[in-house]
Structure 1
Amino acid sequence: MYFAALLARTEDGWQASEPDLDDVETLADLSDLARAAGDEEETVLVFIEQEDAWFGVIRVDGEEDPRIYVSDAAAAARSSYGEILLTDEVLGRDPADLDDLVDLDEIDQFVDLDGTEDGDDDDAAEAGPAGDHVPTGPVGDSDLLADLGMNGKELLALSGDGALTGEALGEVADALGCGDVLEAVR
């Protein structure tokens, strides 16, 4: 089960809403949805959580590129919304390096329709291009909320081994001073 919320930081404080993610297929779609929730230069946060598995925080400041934090990349990689957040940049991959290592035209002949190579099982689906595995644990910008009241260490502590509970985003919101606003849309 998923939970998502948009938190826009306005002159009057935080305002929260529950977004409709049905039409969100890319990070650009999610960023546009966030920008539409606030005024031009306002900070908007998108909280996404898959119950007791992983959470993500996406920060959109005006027209700047979104900043992303994911509590557990491996868990998020098995989720349709999580996959949207796991960009090469968040995973620390350089797409140019992957292009040099892999000739996609040559690989096509060895890939079955299910996306795995002949003889491989579905566990290969967790691996990205050129066999890059998605790491277990937190990825992305852990300091994306530092200027709003939660430093990177505190955010990482919520993602620690077995520490993830359904309350992680509530704790983030409390640290930012918008816990009550978030609970109103939960």
Structure 2
Amino acid sequence: MYFAALLARTEDGWQASDTELDDVETLTDLADLAREAAVDDDTVLALIEQEDAWFGVVRVDGEDDPRVFVSDAVVAGRSSYGAMLVDELIGRDDTDADELDDLDLDGTEDGEPEPAEDEGAGAPEEPRPAGPLGDAKILSDLGVDEKQLLALKGDALGEIADALGCTDVLEAVR
């Protein structure tokens, strides 16, 4: 089960809205959704988590390109929204992502171990990188430095909201 919310920075603090990702198929779609929630082209954070398995942060500052962080690329890559973020980060196009989604249906999403990396040696596609991926400094200027972000587990979005000073705002949309 997913939880997704948009946190828009305003002069008075953060404003949260929960969001449906049903119509989001690309990072561009997500960035456009975030820009619609922006107040005066200020920062908007799109926060996504799938239970406690992985979380992602997409930061949109005005018309700048979105910045992305995913807590665990392999685990996130097994879900549609996570795969969208991971594939964008590693530069895969939609065709590659569709082909990999077909390959991901091997039961590893049920907790079976991943095949050894060298089993895919010589394959035309590279495996998704293990561990965190993306811009770990994405929240540094907002009070969550790289080391803190990389250490988050469990209720990561709650801890991010605590650091931003908007726990109540985020909890109101959960």
Q: TM-score, normalised by structure 1?
A: 0.76
Aligned runs of 1:57-136 on 2, under 5 Å?
57-88=57-88, 90-91=89-90, 115=102, 122=106, 130-136=124-130
C-alpha distance in 2 between matches for 1:44 and 1:4:
13
Partner of 2:157: 169
Counterpart check, 1:144 vs 2:138: yes
Instruction: Please give the alpha-carbon distance, in whole angstroms, between the structure 1 residues aligned to 2:102 and 2:143.
Output: 42
Cα deviation code 1:70-106 (max 9, x no counterpart): 0000011000110111135x23x5x7xx9xxxxx9xx
Whole-angstrom distance in 2 between the partners of 1:41 and 1:153: 28
In structure 1, the residue matched to 2:117 is: none
Residue pair 2:9, 2:39 contacting (<8 A) in 1 also: no
Q: Secondary structure at the match of 2:144?
A: coil
Q: Which segments of 5 or more consecutive residues in structure 2 lack a partner in the other structure?
A: 108-113, 115-119
How far does the alpha carbon of each residue in 1:126-180 deviate from its partner, in whole angstroms, 9 at most, with x for none?
Answer: 98x823111221000000101111100000011xxxxx31x11100110111111
- CA shift, 1:122, in A, is 3.7
Aligned residues, how many? 156
Distance in 1 separating the partners of 2:124 and 2:42: 39
Amino acid at match of 2:173: V
> Partner letter of residue 28 of structure 1?
T
Bigger radius of gyration among the two: 1
Q: Does 2:172 match 1:178?
A: no
Distance 1:130 1:172 in 2: 38
Query: Once the 2 structures are TM-superposed, how far is the Cα of residue 115 of structure 1 from its aligned partner?
Result: 4.7
Dislocated runs of 4+, deviation >3 Å: none
CA distance in 1, matches of 2:102, 2:132: 26
Determine the structure 1 residue equivalent to 2:110: none
- Read off the aligned partner of 1:130 and give its amino acid letter: P
Call closer, same or farther: CA 1:27–1:157 in 2, change over 3 Å. same
**Structure 1 residue 20, shift from structure 2 partner:** 1.7
The residue type equivalent to 2:135 in the other structure is D
Q: 1:65 corresponds to which letter in structure 2?
A: D
